[in-house]
Amino acid sequence: MKKVTDYENKKVLVLGLAKSGVSAAKLLHELGALVTVNDFKQFDQNPEAQDLLTLGIRVVTGGHPIELLDEDFAFVVKNPGIPYSNPLVEKALDRKIPVLTEVELAYQISECPIIGITGTNGKTTTTTMIGLLLNADRKEGTARLAGNIGYPASTVAEEAIATDDIVMELSSFQLMGIQSFQPQIAVITNIYEAHLDYHGNREEYVKAKWRIQENMTEKECLVLNWNQKELRELSETSKATIVPFSTEEKVEGAYTIGDKIYFKDELVMHTTELGVPGSHNIENALAAITVAKLKDVETAVIKETLQTFTGVPHRTQYIGKFNDRNFYNDSKATNILATEMALSGFKPEKLILLAGGLDRGNSFEELVPSLKKIKAVIVFGETKYKLAEAAEAAGVSFIKLTENVETAVIEAYDYSEKDDTILLSPSCASWDQYPNFELRGEAFIQAVNRLKEIEK
């Protein structure tokens, strides 16, 4: 960790806890800041706040009182999940108090290079691929995963040494709170429409994603999906060195011709050799290969690593084969596009889709083309009627409404035949029935395991 003295005796407000808030509060306290933590959850139900209090950190719980800002804070570190429409955040900005996210702190203390990955879909898979590629046959240091992938960025940066790399997944929420953040390599996997309930409109969402490169210079590399016209146009406004990837044309980076993957005229591997299915995973692999080549990873190492990579938990994760049926967990598919991408990786006539979840008010008309020729659709949760309508419009012959993921697995198995694939790809957030997509995915896995016990 770099020796940073900028925070000594500075009054700092950490707004919201969870993993990143706790990490930021402890780091700032260690750096000599006068930290106040404010969390909405009541103190007696807030073990994180209780823990911080034992360290001598001031905690204010049970709400977000505006009068806290009368205490002359130098800046606020905000949990990414707290919207900018929060009255305390709005008031801080009105008073010209900088509102940062924890990834900015991580950058300021990091001794090693940071590789930042953002985009609408594919962030977690691409981040994981990059981490594996940079650690394969590595001679010095470690590539450490951080950020939105589940490891607080500031904790990872505190532990990292100069010979490491931090491979940091970044959400639009996190990127809105940066100031000097300057990755050595930045990746934008793609940009589609998402999180409009947080950002207000697509323009603001894209602006948040594009912030990843705002402090970069020609010494740093910006890896972009050249299939997207929007990113090609935005690239003209960046000072970074652009390194593209594409499945549609030959570019000065990673690209495909037929079923072959190249990096600047060098054959890397065949798309059929990738350990994860789907056209979207070819794009993810191209992004990861680009970073690996920029970091001088040998081609043979890249090929071997990507051949054995079978996906990340809850993202088109292969659960295994049982009674000649294949099971895949794609619980992280919380929007239509993610489900469309997952469906593209399978033969529809042998595919049974499990979908449903929180109703955000949208229809599923966009999903209809991807549902055509699918063998069956099992739907659950708040959106089951809407998804059933979409499946009917697509001409799906077997549509079944059920209660939840667990019952959906039973219905799917009962209808399935030899060599079928049963795929959980909900196309919706989980919050109507499950606290998060991880627990929804675990419910799917457990239901599959129970099937095995019943059939013994």
Does 123 carry a binding-site annotation? yes
Question: Where would I find the beta strands (DSSP E) of 44-103?
Answer: 58-61, 75-78, 99-100
Residue type, 221: C
Query: Quick check: 253 and 274 in contact, CB under 8 A?
Result: no
Contact assessment for residue 338 and residue 360, using Cβ atoms and an 8 Å cutoff: no
- The encoded tokens of residue 165 equal 């790399």
Distance from C-alpha of 261 to C-alpha of 256, rounded to nearest angstrom:
5
Contact between 82 and 41 under an 8 Å Cβ cutoff? The reply is: no
- DSSP lists the bridge partners of residue 421 as 326, 351
Query: Of 203, 223, 199, 228, whose CA–CA distance to 213 is shortest?
Result: 223
Partner residues linked to 222 by β-bridges: 186, 242
Angle (CA) 366-371-377 rounded to 5° is 120
Q: Could you tell me where the beta strands, DSSP code E, fall in 184-306?
A: 185-188, 221-225, 241-246, 254-257, 260-263, 266-270
> Alpha-carbon distance 178 to 107, whole Å?
9
Does the annotation list 278 as a binding residue? no
Residue 385 parent element (H or E): helix 384-393
123-135 helix and 279-294 helix, angle to the nearest 10 degrees: 40
Which residues on adjacent β-strands are paired with residue 226? none
120 in Cβ contact with 191 (< 8 Å): yes
Q: Where are the beta strands (DSSP E) in 304-447?
A: 317-322, 325-329, 351-356, 376-380, 398-401, 421-424
Note whether 430 and 331 are within 8 A (CB).
yes
DSSP 408-435: HHHHHHHH--TT-EEEE--SS-STTTSS
Q: Is 258 annotated as a binding residue?
A: no
121 labeled binding residue: yes
Q: Is 122 annotated as belonging to a binding site?
A: yes
**For 218, how many CA atoms within 13 A lie in the half-sphere containing its CB?**
1
What does the alpha-carbon distance between residue 28 and residue 34 come to, in Å, rounded to a whole number?
8
Give dist(CA 86, CA 294) in Å, integer: 41
Q: Phi/psi class of residue 255: alpha, beta or left (left: φ > 0; alpha: ψ in -120 to 50)?
A: beta
The rounded radius of gyration (Å) of the Cα atoms in the chain is 23
Residue 143: phi and psi, rounded to 5, are -85, 115
Bind-site residues for ATP: 119-125
Bind-site residues: 119-125
